[in-house]
Structure 1
Amino acid sequence: MTKIKGGELIADHLIRAGMPYVFGICGHGNVGMLDALYDRKDHITMISPRHEQTAGHMADAYYRVSHQPVATLTSCGPGSANIPMSLACAQADSSAFLAITANVPTSQFNRGPFQETYMHGQASFPDSVKPFVKRSFQPSRVEMLPLALRQATNLLTSGRPGPVNLDVPYNLFQEEADTALEPMNGAGVDNRPGAAPEIITAVTDMLLAANAPLIFVGHGITISEAGADLTDLQHRLQIPQVASPNGMGSLDMADPLSLGFIGRNGTYPANQAGRRADILLTIGARFDDRSASSWREGYSWNIPPSKLIHVDIDPTEIGRNYEPFMGIQADARTFVRQILAELDRRGVTRHEGTKSWLAQIAGWQQEWDSFIAPNFEIDSAPMRPERVVRDMMQVVPDNAILVPDSGAHHNWFMQFWKCRRPQSMLNTWGYSAMGFGVSGVLGAKLAAPDRPCIAVVGDGGFTMTPHVLCTAVEYNIPAIWVIWNNYAWGAIRDLQHGQFGGREIGTSFTHGPNSEPYNPDFAALAKAHGVDGIKVSRSSDFRDALGAAIAANRPYVIDLEVDPGVRPPSTGSWELPPLQAPEPAFGAPWRPL
């Protein structure tokens, strides 16, 4: 062994772990790490956005597209205090990145030096992120770094993926020690446990005997890269699928077996099937309130009498919201392949026992299509939301990556977007952090440079993190932002109108004595940053503008005026106690006798 600086150890480890990027912001607390990265510029790229929250969302989205974790780097005090939102967003959606945070020198712990978090413990910044990470490591000597680095990296993607924090005191970046990185096996951690053989036999028996089977998928099926195998299983057994947002695309949503999103703003066929399924095979989904109509009986699910088979790699999610008939801790892809192998053993290549069930679903689909179809054709100024989604589906290529932000616009894409591939629709779902889509599209584009990457973001969310335009220009990242301009925090304004009699305060963006709608000219703002920008107010102009943005292969902003008075038709419910839960706008709850 030869003497090596702590910062060099960290940088060498990131390279060895296959991390091509560090997304980070400079500060006096991490300048030693920056110096180590300088010497390794040919092997790992440092990208510096203008805010730490953006760095975290970029790393989160990068993982969702590539399933390769990368690292973030932030300085002590406020620099790292800006990253908990990104960590929380990643943790809630089972996405992984290594958050390297700097801290004050160990010799100054508990003296209250510049930017130390010390009120309840010395250098206690890790306490700030513990609810949002799988583990926080804080080595206090250079010799402790190799073990912490190995453990942190393995933990990122073992079991349920999630972010991990490595908190490094300032002096460790620059101090030297006679130490070296610990060996890491190329095989890594076995992250694909399967179910017991007798369980596979029992599940297969249940699926083959079911009259109205349904498969419900979440992000777990996407993370496990089980889409192709699941598609094979569904085609063989002719079982329809409903999805939570981050499970969308595991089955091509143009497939007749794909019923779309289930829950408050799900599709009518999805909720109808959920209410009536006799066997519900759920893989990698956790029955959150929005995909379960706040667990109200008969609105999205009836569990029981529906028999729930709940498969998840995280045992804490099995039975959290619904008691399963059968709970199975397993990797999604391994489990699906086990079922396929059992079908092969039995010689089952096609199961036709669901014909009447699928015919019933086709009837619900026809009712739903008749109800929604007219609004997709309306040409108006400002645009109707349905028309925005339709035009994007017609213009955007199948290999594009859509990165919606949190906001009213997201409901429309949940209900009507047809995702064609896995890992091509990235949603901030569990924590629903504004800024994820605005910032994450940069990380998505770095992970998939040959695919169009489009963020659909609200005007409120965009103005939280508009500095992404600087990063796009500095690093030549040709992302596209479609800004859903409805001059409001629209989702909350809708809630005020629906539940508080229109007592609107703090939600609309206005200016002047007559309270005229106000927003900056986003196209002009883009051009001021060196980004192409255009304002679109009429439906007939949007398709050409979006096509031009995709063809340009440069950073691009479309300032799109959308009608704020049109709300998505609820087919489920969403309860915010003690407010009265709304009834579906289309369809009605159903409970078996």
Structure 2
Amino acid sequence: MKKLISKQLVKYLEGKGVQHIFGLCGHTNIAFLSQLENSTIKFINTRHEQIAAHMADGYARVTKQASVVLSHIGPGLTNTITAIGTAALDNVPIVIIAGDAPSHYYGRNAFQEVNLYSDASQYEILRPIVKRAWRVERPDLFPEIIEKAFQLAENGRPGPVLVSVPMDIFSKEIDVRLFERLTYHNPKLHKPSIDQETAVKIIKTLKNAENPLFLVGGGIMLADASGELRDLVDHMGIPVVNTMMGKGAVSDDHPLAMGLVGFWGSKFTNEKVRNADYIFALGTSFGEADSSSWEEEYTFNFPPTKLIHIDIDPQEIGRNYPVEIGIVADLKQSLKVLNKVAKEMVPVPVQNPTLEKEIAANKEAFIQSNQEHIKNNCFPMRPERILQETREVLPKDAYITTDVGWNKNGVAQRFPIYEAGTVLTPGGFATMGFGSPAALGVKVAKPDRVVVSLVGDGGFGQNPAVLATAAEENIPVIWIIMNNSSYGVIAGLEKAHFDTTFGTIFYKDGKPYSPDFAAIARAFGVEGVKIESAEDFKPTLEKAVASKKPFVIDVSMVNVPTPTGGHWNIMDIYSPNEKKSHAVVSIN
């Protein structure tokens, strides 16, 4: 028996447990889209493909499953590039299904065909940033391609994949048995673990080390291994530092959690890292910001520090630093074995009261050093106060998405995260415009949780059409727009090194300018409040949480730099032999 591919594809996705598809219509994909009308799958209609892909990114990060994006040909697909690049660098599994030119019109300048490099070469657009890109050449190949796509996206090092589908393929009929045979295959593969001998070697090394520590990256969240990590930390009594992507893997209120490393990290944490004799790195790539541009006097110092490194991707082991013990394995499975071995080799949990006291004192000193800013009633508000009051209002299990600037770097430094995976940050790409749509995806996946997007005015201005989707679908996300009428971080850099802010501050008629984002929100049918004084912010946020509606809070913020305890080599490029970083930028 034969049926339309579009109809069978919907049934296939339902069988895989897909509950939502994010996307936008076009003449190349409506044959498939029409079949979704009576499906159990909810189609989330967006006003821009970048929004759809960022939503899918946020959704996949919290569900730990591949999400699905539906795209149109040409400009539809190219609109996803930034968001898919973000997902790729942060190892987020997404399956992009993109309509393409009809197969029988290849090379004839079919409407919106991508053919300058070669005929019907649309699928090559995303090749540099996806794990694999397929173009469906024959109808009968479609079932096995879509199955391979999901399996590849979710396994090994997760990431996005592309399936480019000539529009005529959607409307072809094929034997239903080609899809039905896929039901006999289990795409949930058993993941590699660590062997007993290596586990014993690691635990013995950590037991005998003088100043060991755990370095935790975003791979812990991808592997859903935070529980196993906490068990090992508690049993071995070893302190933990985290990269920006690893924040929250161990709760920030844990007595052995020291905080962020690298450029945005504290001097206390960076110094502890430099003086460690062994670092056990879990799911991290030792990126530039986390490693203070790999300059040994600031953060990591290999050697004399020795490195144990577990990652699912062999390319990451030894990429930036030499390893003494390198393991290619799944973190969750590995930590289960390590916990078992640790309890056998170290029967009594290790206590480390002296170090815990030192960590607690450092945390308290940091809190006290910020009290002046937290209690400051100035308006525009201090960013420290905005973050402090946001944390006070939100429940501990709330989800936070960040963008770039204070809302990202400041959150990583000083915003306590208590549950693993509840802060979503654009890590590798540091993508401006990620936070506001990603929050929608998170809320769709976790409707019972409070979801807040902390975003700058520059970032929110990238994708304001998120408000249309929020209103249409009634997705109650709260957007806190930390508004400094500028690209604040870059303005601070340019001011410090070149004594100008040209091109970084928004002006109109010679005066600082910002749209009234609260009014824009109301025009979209979303609640919006423009904060007029520091005292108004906290009660407005409490009102937003209680409303359970989409809500925009536009709050003016002074443009001061986020303090840094590490180093970023671009400073030396701008100003050789000078110790400059970011400057305060007065906008008036």
TM-score relative to the length of structure 1: 0.94
**Structure-2 change in CA distance of 1:255 and 1:347 (3 Å):** closer
Separation (CA, whole Å) in 2 of partners of 1:249 and 1:537: 33
Counterpart amino acid of residue 392 in structure 1: T
Separation (CA, whole Å) in 2 of partners of 1:517 and 1:399: 37
Q: Alignment partner for residue 521 of structure 2, among 508, 522, 526?
A: 526
Corresponding position of 1:429: 427
Separation (CA, whole Å) in 1 of partners of 2:334 and 2:175: 46
**Structure-2 change in CA distance of 1:191 and 1:505 (3 Å):** farther
Structure 1 residue 123 displacement after superposition: 1.1
Tell me, yes or no, if structure 1 residue 557 matches structure 2 residue 552: yes
Per-residue CA deviation, residues 119-163 of structure 1 (Å, 9 max, x unaligned), is: 111111121101111111111221011110111111111111101
**Structure-2 change in CA distance of 1:185 and 1:76 (3 Å):** same
3-state SS in 2 of match to 1:247: coil
Corresponding position of 1:298: 297
Contact 2:57 2:438 in 1 (8 A): yes
Structure 1 residue 364 displacement after superposition: 4.3
Corresponding position of 1:487: 485
3-state SS in 1 of match to 2:126: helix
3-state SS in 2 of match to 1:280: strand
Contact 2:256 2:359 in 1 (8 A): no
Tell me, yes or no, if structure 1 residue 141 matches structure 2 residue 138: yes
Contact 1:9 1:145 in 2 (8 A): no
Contact 1:211 1:357 in 2 (8 A): no
3-state SS in 2 of match to 1:559: strand
Residues 456-467 of structure 1: pairs in structure 2 closer than 5 A: 456-467=454-465
Residues 241-260 of structure 1: pairs in structure 2 closer than 5 A: 241-260=240-259
Separation (CA, whole Å) in 2 of partners of 1:98 and 1:217: 27
Tell me, yes or no, if structure 1 residue 568 matches structure 2 residue 562: yes
Moved over 6 A (4+): none
Corresponding position of 2:87: 90
3-state SS in 1 of match to 2:272: helix
Of 45-54 and 253-262, more deviation after overlay is shown by: 253-262
Separation (CA, whole Å) in 2 of partners of 1:141 and 1:187: 24
Separation (CA, whole Å) in 1 of partners of 2:64 and 2:298: 34
Corresponding position of 1:589: none
Corresponding position of 2:334: 335
3-state SS in 1 of match to 2:245: helix
Contact 1:25 1:50 in 2 (8 A): yes
Per-residue CA deviation, residues 335-383 of structure 1 (Å, 9 max, x unaligned), is: 111111002222523113x555445545544554443343222221111
Gaps of 5+ in 1: 587-593
Tell me, yes or no, if structure 1 residue 169 matches structure 2 residue 166: yes
**Structure-2 change in CA distance of 1:114 and 1:195 (3 Å):** same
3-state SS in 1 of match to 2:28: coil
Corresponding position of 2:476: 478
Corresponding position of 1:450: 448
Contact 1:5 1:142 in 2 (8 A): no
Corresponding position of 2:212: 213
3-state SS in 2 of match to 1:38: coil
Structure 1 residue 245 displacement after superposition: 2.3
Contact 1:572 1:583 in 2 (8 A): no
Corresponding position of 1:404: 402
Of 336-345 and 89-98, more deviation after overlay is shown by: 336-345
Contact 2:72 2:98 in 1 (8 A): yes
Of 380-389 and 246-255, more deviation after overlay is shown by: 246-255
After superposition, the CA RMSD in angstroms is 1.8
Give the aligned length: 578
Tell me, yes or no, if structure 1 residue 156 matches structure 2 residue 150: no
Counterpart amino acid of residue 562 in structure 2: P
Separation (CA, whole Å) in 2 of partners of 1:50 and 1:386: 34
Residues 299-338 of structure 1: pairs in structure 2 closer than 5 A: 299-338=298-337
Identity %: 34
**Structure-2 change in CA distance of 1:118 and 1:329 (3 Å):** same
3-state SS in 1 of match to 2:552: strand
Per-residue CA deviation, residues 507-534 of structure 1 (Å, 9 max, x unaligned), is: 101111xx21111111111111111111
Corresponding position of 1:395: 393
Per-residue CA deviation, residues 423-469 of structure 1 (Å, 9 max, x unaligned), is: 10000010111221011111000000000110011111111110000
Of 179-188 and 245-254, more deviation after overlay is shown by: 179-188
Gaps of 5+ in 2: 583-588
Tell me, yes or no, if structure 1 residue 231 matches structure 2 residue 226: no
3-state SS in 1 of match to 2:125: helix
Structure 1 residue 298 displacement after superposition: 2.1
Corresponding position of 2:585: none
Contact 2:436 2:466 in 1 (8 A): yes
3-state SS in 2 of match to 1:94: coil
**Structure-2 change in CA distance of 1:108 and 1:414 (3 Å):** same
Contact 2:526 2:550 in 1 (8 A): yes
Separation (CA, whole Å) in 2 of partners of 1:220 and 1:108: 44
Corresponding position of 2:46: 49
Q: Alignment partner for residue 579 of structure 1, among 562, 574, 578?
A: 574
Per-residue CA deviation, residues 262-295 of structure 1 (Å, 9 max, x unaligned), is: 1111133321221111110110011111111111
3-state SS in 1 of match to 2:327: strand
Corresponding position of 2:586: none
Corresponding position of 1:192: 191
Tell me, yes or no, if structure 1 residue 509 matches structure 2 residue 506: yes
Per-residue CA deviation, residues 277-336 of structure 1 (Å, 9 max, x unaligned), is: 111011001111111111111211111111111110111111111111211111111111
**Structure-2 change in CA distance of 1:537 and 1:319 (3 Å):** farther
3-state SS in 1 of match to 2:400: strand
